[in-house]
Amino acid sequence: MVNLVDVFADFKTGKNIDRPTMVRVLEDVFRTLIKKKYGTDDNFDVIVNTTNGDLEIWRVREVVPDGEVTNELAQVSVTEGQQIDESVKEGEECYEQLSIDDFGRRAIMAARQTLVSRIMELEKDEIFRKYSELVGNVVTGEVSQIMKKEVLILDDATSNELVLPRTEMIKGDYYRKGDVVKGIIRKVEMRNNVPFIMLSRTDPSFLHKLLEAEVPEIEDGVIEIKHIVRLPGERAKVAVESHDERVDPVGACVGMKGSRIHGIVRELRNENIDIINYTNNTSLFIQRSLTPAKITTIELDNERKRAAVYLDADQVSLAIGKAGSNIKLATKLTGYEIDVYRNQAEYEIDDVDLEEFSDVMEPWVIEALKGVGCDTARQVLELSAEELIRRTDLEEETVHEVLRILADEFEEEGK
């Protein structure tokens, strides 16, 4: 006959379920078994020993004179009671220990299934509760399975399954089964009654936690991370502030010869991380956000949240960055739409004024380009098509035609 206590013994080891909860579940299952057989569990005691998995079921009835039993569930005659326990007397309680086998095979099998189901549900609830409290924390695990849209990871601490969607992976992330992966718990939810624990390596909070782990001053509260923006795997900007004038926040985060930041950069697939000093001075903060470019002047439109920055010719490409990455992050970091202009006095020796292209370009196109500070061909060519479309509102087709015309001019001169 199947023993339900064996089921308990199988599950009580290694499960994250507290003992009182486990005992309550077992008692509920056995009391349901009793109710099905006797119609009530009022006169029964269920005792569970969580240490060794032992279980005892006792039936308790009042001993009454022979022939005066009016309720067989609550009473037992003296003669019958003494057959159970010779020492019982009229007016006392008779304790009769029952065996699980007394309930029949079918009832036991049904109860076993109920017990397994209840314990599994408790475990799922416990996993969901535990990881819900860990949202925002970094975990490390081993790749167990690689799928088309996600990678399954086993948490090193709990062996629970975590999910790293490819949309949350850094460009350049490539894993094989058995590889160690680090990520931040971004979301925990129940899907089809199963805990879904999602990791992320692209979330800005992942970089925040990595910095916190590497820089003691951040964990201690001496340095505060005010804001982080990222283009995962490409570039990130981190604004930091020191609450102790003796501590340089940028130097502390970078470390001696980059010792603190290098490990983080490697973890993020060589993501270029700019650490800058936070300030309430908007103009200064925008200048710092465009590092490594050096700005000569800046004009703010606080009402429209726009900033026009002017730089020397050799600084324009640095301000914009590869594929516009630097200016995109600076815009996110400061909350200001930033327009980059080259200082008007700067001209390349072999440059050409846009007016000289009036025979192949519409006047309104030339005016649109001049309106964003581009008076010469090279000034236009220094900007990407994406940047020109955004700043001039010209059609994509028109911008590409303009770039082609201007590029052809210099190619012909170079022949």
| Domains along the chain with CATH numbers | 4-130 (3.30.1480), 134-202 (2.40.50.140), 206-276 (3.30.300.20), 354-414 (1.10.150)
pLDDT at position 20 over 80: no
Greater confidence, 12 or 187? Answer: 187
- Torsion sign across C-alpha atoms 208, 214, 219, 221: negative
CB 395 within 8 A of CB 401: no
In this predicted structure, what is the pLDDT of residue 53?
Answer: 58
* pLDDT (tens digit per residue) in 290-340: 999 999 999 999 999 999 999 988 888 889 988 889 999 999 999 999 999
CA distance 361 to 392: 15
* pLDDT (tens digit per residue) in 365-390: 888 888 887 888 888 888 888 888 88
* pLDDT (tens digit per residue) in 32-74: 888 888 888 888 988 877 666 577 889 999 999 988 889 888 8
Share of the chain above pLDDT 90, in %: 51
Which among 271, 250, 99, 96 has a CA at the least distance from the CA of 169?
271
* pLDDT (tens digit per residue) in 87-117: 889 889 999 988 877 787 887 788 788 877 8
Greater confidence, 146 or 355? Answer: 146
pLDDT at position 219 over 50: yes
pTM of the model: 0.67
Average pLDDT over residues 130-151: 95
Average pLDDT over residues 143-163: 94
Average pLDDT over residues 22-39: 83
Greater confidence, 397 or 53? Answer: 397
Share of the chain above pLDDT 70, in %: 92
